Amino acid sequence: MAKIIDDETMENVCILAKLSLSGQEREKAKADMQKMLDYVEKLDELDTSGVVPLSHIFGNANVFREDVVTNGDESVAMLKNAPKAKDGQYQVPKTIG
């Protein structure tokens, strides 16, 4: 039998979720949570011994491509656009005293 959602459990949920519920809202939430627990209990009755576990429903294998560099190192060309460069880096005015 599924655990019964009591007032103490509901209070703990409200504290953890930082919810401020009125009495009517609390009773509605308690009933909804109880329905969820009852449904999970019903699912536990199913015989899944012959079912293969899976991580997702799609049969795709790894569809990622290999990482291949196509543009190379363009740092020298980029530094030609800099107003000032020093030691292979952009040189900018000092901003911190």
Task: Show Cβ contacts of residue 84 under 8 Å, excluding neighbours closer than 6 positions.
Answer: 90, 91, 92
Q: Which two tokens stand for residue 80?
A: 């030609």
Proportion of the chain above pLDDT 70, given as a percent: 98
What total of structural domains would you count in the chain?
Answer: 1
Q: How many CA atoms lie within 13 A of 56 on its CB side?
A: 5
The confidence score (pLDDT) of residue 70 equals 86
- The reply to whether 82 falls in a domain is no
**φ, ψ of residue 86 in degrees (nearest 5):** -150, 130
Q: pTM of the entire structure?
A: 0.48
pLDDT at res. 56: 76
Specify if 15 maps to a domain.
yes
d(CA 9, CA 22): 16
Is residue 22 domain-resident?
yes
91 within domain boundaries: no
- Residue 12: which domain range? 7-44
Query: Is the predicted pLDDT of residue 94 greater than 90, yes or no?
Result: no
Q: What is the mean pLDDT of residues 59-82?
A: 84
Residue 2 has pLDDT above 70, yes or no: no
The structure tokens 């009591």 sit at 6
pLDDT band at 44 (very low <50, low <70, confident <90, very high): confident
